[in-house]
Amino acid sequence: HPQMKQRQTCAQHRNVQPFSDEDASIETMSHCSGFSDPASFTEEGAEVDEEATQEDIEYKLKGFIDLTLDKSAKTRQSALEGLKNAMTSKILYEFILERRMTLTDSIERCIKKGKSDEQRAAAGLACLLCVQLGSGIESEEVFKTLAPILKKILSDGSASVQARQACATCLGVCCFIATDDITELYSTMECLENIFTKSYQKERNSSGISSTQNTVLHISSLLAWTLLLTICPMNEVKKKLEMHLHKFPVLLSCDDVNMRIAAGETLALLFELARETDADFFYEDMEVLTQKLKALATDGNKHRAKVDKRKQRSVFRDVLRAVEEHDFPTETVKFGPERMYIDCWVKKQTYDAFKEILGSGMQYHLQSNELLRNVF
């Protein structure tokens, strides 16, 4: 497919976003605005007339937008969820383009004024708004408006962990899509670093001061940071490697299986980037690290749940291959008549980040969304 710009290497892949002129062309996006299956998102799965037209859907969405200002928190949250479902399952470029200011204002208000669940829904909607608008000036405006409040909540120890987690993810994804400003990229990464590096100390003192509850926040911040690392210029990648590479192995001892996995995958990605910047890259604690990775790849710890162990072993077999043999097990993703190859850690991390936001809508967006077709 001529539109599928299949990257030959990760080095090429990394240069696409966002510091290049390869922005998704707005014309092409507006052509993709057809609705294939209007019945695929409804409240409570109500039966919908198959003939539902674009006007009907837009009427419903306008209703949701109005309800994001409702007095009742429950109503606001349902409205945000309704908009999220629509944006996951449809390309709504034209509709959103006209209302992006209103939507951004609503999201900002819900994040500022809402409680945990509403903040999460609003941050999730912000991600989808940028996914729909693509990597142009409109997304940039959305990000510039929302970044200060997202950073504020992420850094606020008194805010709910779930809200902070959603803000971390939102900062990563929206910055990845939207930012054209390198200083903004770096300040966003720093904000995320301030969160997950707390896990470095935590693992070292192991006095359990920081609750496991915060671990989920550290994981989301780490994954968002890793996504942004994939679009950093090489000289910055080198700096980050020097800062973090020797600290990451400490996270492999975390009690939380998801943190171990996130740290392992980030390590694999760091090694991939390091070898890209320097073919003769050498890591002095290689032996200790590979022993640790081997232990995790064959973990038989009786105290760990079976499912966790299986998942962990499979990930760490791949991480070990990446670190020792510079190898990546290519995965194939099929969508419609097309297929895409995930052939490096950079691509895997990027794919996983978008899959997390789009869920079951991922295949549809890979087929119809110009932004995703350019990213992959």
Report pLDDT digits (tens) over 296-319: 999 877 667 788 888 899 999 999
Residue 255 has pLDDT above 80, yes or no: yes
Residue 25 has pLDDT above 60, yes or no: no
Residue 346 contacts residue 230 (beta carbons within 8 Å): yes
The verdict on domain 10-231 having CATH code 2.40.50 is no
Query: pTM of the predicted model, to two decimals?
Result: 0.85
Report pLDDT digits (tens) over 120-173: 999 999 999 999 999 999 999 999 999 999 999 999 999 999 999 999 999 999
Residue 6 has pLDDT above 90, yes or no: no
Report pLDDT digits (tens) over 34-60: 333 333 444 444 444 545 688 888 999
221-226 average pLDDT score: 98
Query: Integer distance in angstroms from the first to the last C-alpha of the chain?
Result: 13
Give the span between the Cα atoms of 165 and 273, in whole angstroms.
26
Give the span between the Cα atoms of 84 and 106, in whole angstroms.
13
In the chain, where the domains are located = 10-231
The proportion of the chain whose per-residue pLDDT surpasses 70, expressed as a percent, equals 83
